[in-house]
Structures are given as structure tokens and as C-alpha cells.
Amino acid sequence: MSAMDPPLQERVYHGLKADYLAGHFVPGKRIDLQDLANRHHSSKTPVREAAFIFVGEGLFVHHADGGFLVPKLEPAQLIELLDWHMQLLITVLTTLKESAVRRALQPYSILAGGLSAVNIALRATEMFSSLAEATGNRQATHEIRRLNERLHYSRIIETTANAEKELAIFASMEVGNFHKATRRRIEAYHTRKIAHQRKIIRDSGAYK
């Protein structure tokens, strides 16, 4: 490793984060640390250290038999995360002028076409993070991005045929009061997803 390379632990951490966002893991399945060590040309120690950081970020949990896994979030957990994500975005929106909201969302108003479930989930993360970045508040950007990362695998799993179009409509510029429209869209987007999770809870209770 050259003097210009980042420390090994930092490199492995960022490599694992790229793996996570690329959908490399299967929620509920134990992660093979040796496989990751081989993948990132390191020993298991920096991989394990990075995994512990992921636990602190809510991206990994400990496996009952040792090791780590990406958690399968229960509907009640998703409802809480979605509600908190909605509230944070609404708060972010109150600090932005309409022109800033338009600039933040304009790149996402065009339907790309043919995106994979992973890339649609990444597009949602970047779109919502762009709103936070428009505030210039690094803490807000950090919190929104971390929350999006926790929701990442649930978005991949729940991707529908219309998911990409839904995001393009969310960022559509063809409205008068864009600021007000964006707030309505934020509320509608999250309310629909929360309602879906509540239906899962109701349906599962009906069969117990």
C-alpha cells in the first residue's frame, strides 16, 4: 500500500459500504467475513472492525451464532423509520427557498429507464440527500443519508414496476408552487409506504 493510500481499515470500511449499497448482501443471511476479506484484499480484522461500525450505524446486527448480518426490518420498525424520514425531510424543506428545492430535485425529474431495483433505491437516496445538501447543513445531510442507508434494502425488496416512474413524478418540475408540491409529495410518498406496512401487520395478525 502506497503512502497516498488511505489506511487499510478506512479502505475496507468504504469498500464494505460500496458492497452494501450495491445490494451485495442478503437481509437475514449471515455474512462471510473471510469472503469479504478476500474481496477487499485484507485480513478479517479490518473487515470485522468495519462491521462493528456498521452495527453502530444500524446497517448490520449481530448474528445469533456469531458474526453479522443485514437485518430484515419488521413492519413496525419500517413505520418508525419512514415516519422519522418524512419528518426530517419536511423540516429540511422549511429551511429552503423554492429555487433551492428546484435545483436539488431537477436532476431526478427525468425518467432514466431500465434501472435495476438497486439503482432505483440508490436514486431515492441521492434524491432525498440532495434536499438535505441544499441546506448547507452537514449534520442534516449526514442524518438523512444514514437514514436512507438503513432503508436501502427495504426499498430494494419493495421495488415495483412503477418505482422509477414514481421517483420521477416526485421530482417533476411541472407545477406552480414547487415548494408546496414537494411537501405534499413527501407526505404522500411516506404515507403510502407506511400504510403498506400497516396492512402487512393487519394481514399477519389475521392469520395468527
Query: Residue 103 maps to which CATH number?
Result: 1.20.120
| Pair (54, 136) in one structural domain | no
Question: CATH number of the domain that 36 lies in?
Answer: 1.10.10.10
pTM: 0.89
State the residue range of the domain holding 14: 8-69
Q: Are 148 and 128 within 8 A, CB to CB?
A: yes
| Pair (26, 127) in one structural domain | no
Does residue 2 lie in a domain region?
no
Q: Are 153 and 46 within 8 A, CB to CB?
A: no
Q: Are 193 and 150 within 8 A, CB to CB?
A: no
Q: What pLDDT sits at residue 2? A: 45
Structural domains of the chain, count: 2
> What's the grid cell of residue 46?
479490518
Domain end: 69, 84, 102, which one? 69
Q: What pLDDT sits at residue 3? A: 46
| Pair (62, 155) in one structural domain | no
Helix (H) or strand (E) holding 68: strand 68-69
Low-confidence ranges of the chain (pLDDT < 70): 1-6, 206-208
Q: What pLDDT sits at residue 20? A: 97
| Pair (42, 109) in one structural domain | no
Residue 43 in 3-state DSSP? coil
Q: What pLDDT sits at residue 158? A: 87
